[in-house]
Amino acid sequence: MFDLNFDRYDISDNQLTLQGPLAQAKITLSSQGVWRFCLGPKNVEKQPWVASVAEWSAFDIQSGEHGLTLQSKDKTSSLSLNLNPFQFTWNNRKFFVRHNENQDKKGFHKRRRLMLFWNESVSSRYYGLGERTGFLNKRGRVWTNWTTDATNHHPHADPLYQAHPFLILTDEKQCGGLFLDESWKTQFDLACNSPSQSSARSDGATLDFYLIPGPDAPSVARGFSQLTGRSPMPPLWALGYHQCKWGYRNESDIRALAKSFRGEGIPCDTLWLDIDYMDAYKSFTFSPERFPKIEELIEELGRQGFKVVTIVDPGIKKEEGYAVYETGKERRLFTRTAWDEELVGEVWPKRAVWPDFFKEDAQAWWTENHKVYTQAGVAGIWNDMNEPAVFSIEGQDPTREFPLDARHGPYDHEEVHNLYGHKMGEATRKALAELRPEKRPFVLTRSGFSGIQKHAWVWTGDNVSSWEHLEMSLPMLLNLSLSGVPFCGADIGGFFQNCQPELLARWIWVGVFYPFMRNHSGRDRIDQEPWSFNDETTAICKAAIEFRYQLLPILYTLAKEACDTGMPILRPCFFLNPEDRESHEIYDQFLFGNTLMVAPALRPGQSRRTVYLPGEWRDLWSGQAADKESNWSLCETPLQSIPLFQKSGSALPWTESKAHTENAYWETLMFTVALGNVITGHVYEDEGEGFAEGSRSEVIGSFDGETLQLDFYDHSGLSRPVDFEILGMTLPTSSSEPCRETERGIVVTWRGKHLKLSWAS
């Protein structure tokens, strides 16, 4: 390994170009203060994969004794760099790049592997990296980006299904983001092999990275989601409860499932069809024996308020006469081998081929195929096995992956492996958007790359019915959320092994706060639908799912915020107060938005736990104020609910639970209010589907210790009374409207007029 060096530079078109004997570097600045560095061999033109900058900016360059200083015109972004050896300082951190000339056995000789290093500080922490095992802070391990069918993974496995070469780097002095827009296998060593150094590398010839400014993690998360794109607003039903299991065999199983939900009075929006709905595992078919009348079934379920989502695997059965295969073959739309034949392997349908989503003509064909689903009334599509996962490949030694030299359009598989699932998600979303332009597409994917949130929701694959996996789902989803993916969830109850009643009860309560709330389990595992164990567990599951439906106005409002601003729904505790060291590694409790703290029990038999609650909070169940002398409280963790705390000064919107969602204009709306000097809250409402504009209604209030003044600006167009429940308060001594007592405070109803309540003695 040796240092990279440059001997010349020139500036043109808002770009600084460095030239050296072996390499060149192009440095640009976005109008949002994001620096892009594109390093590589001299003649290589590297296009971005998923990063997109709307506007580049001019910047000033000063040359001095120690190299160049680059600064944005508004002086808010700067970095200094040295040409020989090449080094730069950004955010008080020193970075440098080295060449790795090892020619390894896989024949990488044509590529010069560049490695980016930076100096470590003792207090540095890392977040992001998408879906990972481990705790919240990713320091101390090596993380690989290589999408993998990580079935039955253990709590130390890496990599999993997704590839997110994105990091939030922070320490006591600074915070910034690093995104490597490289589709090749990439790797981050975060102070693992050396305590004093971290590194990022790619197996490709270039190193195309972006530095995203802070000053804090929320700003980096927002900036990164702007760079890679934000999620479009999902349909409301997708935020309801979903039920799935690999093992529902036929139409009568599905009917029985629907009947149980409605019979038990447990809310549910969506029933999922796993691979058994297909005819011989052929994507885009329904089994004539087991699902002979799919349209009728879906219509009947629709009348009961259920949507249906079907799985679609990319492995297309290689079978003569199967139209999907025949048309794809005729148009040469399947992935090819290095010697330009169809790549054939085995997966669920036995001999299979795989669409090449890198070919432009593949889209029209993919869209056309999806008519089978839209015509049958299927509401959304679930993309699985798109790492891509295989059982074997013909002509290869046993393998679970494509050969690295398989061909996708102009690319070798090795270069775009990490993008296969991403492209499938993109093609699927486009298909749904084209076929049903009036509806919001819903796609769930297992694999993906940074930016996947534009196309699909993400679930975290085949976890295990264990306490460890329940616990791990929190840091996994928090880091995925920080990586730009707000809509994510883990299989509630666990996929592998058999769930237990206590575990299900705990998990379903945690799942209330997963943006994607789906109970799913594997083939041959015992049932874990809400009613599968005993009356007590059924009642707990029912209460939890009902709570989810009551929570929908909060969730929908947060969903809108995520889509508009990139702020995730699930947020780590350190978002409250980035300076507080004690919050930095908390992984077992989280914020739902900014003002609701969720602190689940994650161990069997657990009767209490500590909760980090800096500032003033109220227990949402009792209305009582949490201890404000300490940042930590002790709370009880009964199996029947989950510890929840609302931040003082906030008003949170709720509705009543229904069997399924209808639209997101809440006829019944109520706010819980945790008093503070200033009280704010809002609710976003729209039709929950389609593209008509919605409305935002606001609560503004104040409390001086004696008098509460409260206004609600209702822009929904509904004329509705709205209840305000003031947590922890007794009946006021005077009030502009009648009040009544509740278990956790008092309720006053807003009917279009200013509210004034006083507790003056």
Contacts with ligand MIG by CB under 6 A lie at 246, 274-275, 311, 384-385, 446, 461-462, 520
CB 745 to ligand MIG: min, Å:
42
Q: Dihedral, CA atoms, 385, 386, 387, 390, nearest 10 degrees?
A: 50
Strand segments (E) across 296-451? 307-312, 316-317, 345-347, 350-353, 380-383, 392-393, 407-408, 411-412, 443-445, 448-449
CB 260 to ligand MIG: min, Å:
20
Write b or e for each residue in 400-409: b if 16 or more Cβ atoms lie within 10 A of its Cβ, otherwise e: ebbbeebbbe
CB 391 to ligand MIG: min, Å:
8
C-beta closer to ligand MIG: residue 337 or 445 = 445
The two tokens of residue 493 are 């109850």
Rounded-to-integer distance, Cα 456 and Cα 441, Å: 9
The tokens 């209808």 sit on which residue? 662
C-beta closer to ligand MIG: residue 112 or 446 = 446
Known catalytic membership, residue 462: yes
C-beta closer to ligand MIG: residue 485 or 490 = 490
CB 184 to ligand MIG: min, Å:
25
CB 220 to ligand MIG: min, Å:
30
CB 631 to ligand MIG: min, Å:
39
Q: Of 189, 276, 313, 462, which residue is the catalytic one?
A: 462
The tokens 């089978």 sit on which residue? 372
Which candidate, 665, 670, 674, places its Cα nearest to that of 645?
674
CA-based radius of gyration for the chain:
27
C-beta closer to ligand MIG: residue 317 or 744 = 317
Q: Of 274, 384, 689, 725, which residue is the catalytic one?
A: 384
Cβ within 8 Å of residue 500, ≥6 positions away = 465
C-beta closer to ligand MIG: residue 461 or 515 = 461
CB 586 within 8 A of CB 136: yes
- Position with the least CB separation from ligand MIG: 246
C-beta closer to ligand MIG: residue 223 or 493 = 493
The two tokens of residue 464 are 């295990």
Rounded-to-integer distance, Cα 328 and Cα 460, Å: 30
CB 147 within 8 A of CB 387: yes
Known catalytic membership, residue 387: yes
CB 444 to ligand MIG: min, Å:
10
- Residue 709's DSSP bridge partners are 702, 756
Q: What is the DSSP string of 650-696?
A: EEEEE----SS---BS-SSEEEEEE--SEEEEEEEEB-SSSS---EE
Cβ within 8 Å of residue 98, ≥6 positions away = 1, 2, 3, 4, 114, 115, 117
Rounded-to-integer distance, Cα 730 and Cα 746, Å: 6
CB 523 to ligand MIG: min, Å:
7
CB 520 to ligand MIG: min, Å:
6
The tokens 């999408």 sit on which residue? 147
C-beta closer to ligand MIG: residue 355 or 461 = 461
Q: Of 387, 471, 561, 725, which residue is the catalytic one?
A: 387
C-beta closer to ligand MIG: residue 148 or 661 = 148
Look at phi and psi of residue 300 and say left if phi exceeds 0, alpha if psi is from -120 to 50, else beta: alpha
C-beta closer to ligand MIG: residue 462 or 546 = 462
Our separate counts of H helices and E strands in the chain read: 12, 52
Burial of 620 (0-12, 13-18, 19+ CB in 10 A): buried
- Specify the 3-state DSSP secondary structure of 581: helix
C-beta closer to ligand MIG: residue 163 or 755 = 163
Peptide bond into 604 cis (omega under 30): no
The two tokens of residue 396 are 């290869």
CB 163 to ligand MIG: min, Å:
17
Strand segments (E) across 407-554? 407-408, 411-412, 443-445, 448-449, 457-459, 488-489, 517-519
CB 101 within 8 A of CB 1: yes
Task: Show which residues are catalytic.
Answer: 384, 387, 462
